[in-house]
């Protein structure tokens, strides 16, 4: 298993949403992080896990995740509370523990596994990470939700001097997608609600993977900016349903330019 160190800034969330990025001249998409834990008024709490070798544990040691080959074992104290089987992976897929845990007021937990898919191209490459959250309760472990976590890619290439001139030296189209995840702090009873916020953008300017950039008009220095993608920069609230699964309050846009490496 290849370890992926997922930056906290992509996983955590701020209590106060950041101002919306400008339409042009934006930097590469990013979201500010916060210091965990984050808790709601019902007693549900998201906190960090600390890695110690093959174990990831809460600060009080009550909950730990162990990672024997091909699985994640959820431990409460010295007792196994559930097991997550990772399933088939290949050379293009890595997985790792999500370094957060959601401890629910009913003494159950939500733990996560991050799967990252890699793709190489002749002119670049890309990767996309997805978070699967599992509910662990009463000795059972069930997948509760999957959501996008992060993605980045570089596509296209310059093959000669004419291409470089047409692209003003920016030979790659770049795409970036980041998220932050937290709890709805306004919840007063029952299961937590999970907040997902995303930010996405492309460079140079507005590009799409469905069109050949070399067929567009030549670029100028003014075009060499990150463009904020309003459609793929969104907020969703995931609520716990009667079936035990979490679902967003609105459908997620496909955002295939970012999420299909």
Alpha-carbon span 220 to 213, nearest angstrom: 13
Give me the number of domains the chain comprises. 1
Res 10: pLDDT: 38
- Asked if the structure places residue 39 within a domain, the reply is yes
Alpha-carbon span 248 to 241, nearest angstrom: 10
Q: What DSSP string describes 52-76? A: ETTEEE-TTSSEEEE--TTEEEEEE
pLDDT digits (tens, 9 = 90+) for 134-175: 999 998 999 999 999 999 999 887 888 888 888 888 888 899
**Strand 93-103 with 45-48, pairing:** antiparallel
123 has a pLDDT exceeding 80? no
Joined together, the tokens standing for residue 15 give 């209590």
- Asked if the structure places residue 220 within a domain, the reply is yes
pLDDT digits (tens, 9 = 90+) for 64-88: 999 988 899 999 999 999 999 997 6
What is the chain's percent helix, strand, coil content, to nearest 5? 10, 45, 45
Helix (H) or strand (E) holding 48: strand 45-48
Q: Which among 237, 37, 31 has a CA at the least distance from the CA of 147?
A: 237
Asked if 224 and 204 count as a contact pair (C-beta separation under 8 A), the reply is yes
- Asked if the structure places residue 16 within a domain, the reply is yes
21 has a pLDDT exceeding 80? no
Print the domain residue range for 141: 8-259
Q: Which among 217, 210, 131, 123 has a CA at the least distance from the CA of 166?
A: 217
Res 166: pLDDT: 86
DSSP code at position 256: H
Chain length of the chain = 261
Joined together, the tokens standing for residue 256 give 């295939």
Joined together, the tokens standing for residue 162 give 């004419």
The residues that bridge with 64 in the sheet, in sequence order, are 57, 75
Quick one: CA dihedral 205, 209, 211, 213, positive or negative? positive
DSSP code at position 25: S
Res 9: pLDDT: 36
Res 235: pLDDT: 98
> pTM for this structure?
0.86
Asked if 177 and 258 count as a contact pair (C-beta separation under 8 A), the reply is yes
- Asked if the structure places residue 28 within a domain, the reply is yes
Res 167: pLDDT: 83
- Asked if the structure places residue 2 within a domain, the reply is no
- Asked if the structure places residue 169 within a domain, the reply is yes
Res 214: pLDDT: 67
Residue 53: how many CB atoms within 10 A of its CB?
7
pLDDT digits (tens, 9 = 90+) for 201-248: 999 999 888 877 667 788 888 889 999 999 999 999 999 999 999 999
Asked if 160 and 137 count as a contact pair (C-beta separation under 8 A), the reply is no
19 has a pLDDT exceeding 70? no
Alpha-carbon span 162 to 169, nearest angstrom: 10
- Asked if the structure places residue 137 within a domain, the reply is yes
- Asked if the structure places residue 3 within a domain, the reply is no
């Amino acid at each position: 298993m290849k370890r992926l160190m997922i930056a906290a800034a992509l996983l955590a969330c701020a209590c106060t949403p950041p101002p919306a990025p400008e339409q042009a001249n934006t930097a590469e998409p990013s979201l500010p992080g916060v210091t965990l834990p984050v808790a709601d008024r019902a007693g549900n709490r998201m906190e960090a896990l600390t890695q110690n070798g093959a174990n990831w544990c809460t600060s009080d040691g009550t909950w730990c995740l162990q990672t024997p080959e091909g699985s994640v074992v959820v431990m409460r104290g010295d007792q196994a509370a559930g097991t997550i089987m990772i399933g088939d992976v290949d050379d293009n897929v890595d997985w790792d523990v999500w370094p957060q845990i959601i401890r629910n007021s009913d003494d159950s937990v939500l733990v996560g596994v991050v799967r990252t898919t890699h793709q190489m191209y002749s002119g670049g490459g890309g990767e996309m990470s997805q978070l699967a959250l599992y509910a662990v309760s009463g000795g059972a472990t069930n997948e509760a939700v999957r959501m996008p976590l992060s993605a980045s890619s570089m596509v296209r290439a310059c093959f000669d001097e004419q291409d470089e001139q047409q692209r003003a030296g920016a030979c790659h189209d770049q795409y970036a997608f980041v998220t932050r995840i937290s709890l709805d702090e306004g919840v007063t009873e029952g299961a937590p609600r999970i907040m997902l916020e995303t930010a996405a953008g492309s460079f140079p300017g507005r590009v799409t993977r469905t069109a050949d950039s070399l067929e567009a008009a030549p670029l100028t220095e003014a075009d060499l900016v990150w463009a904020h993608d309003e459609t793929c920069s969104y907020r969703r609230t995931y609520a716990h349903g009667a079936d035990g699964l979490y679902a967003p309050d609105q459908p997620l846009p496909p955002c295939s330019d970012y999420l299909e490496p």
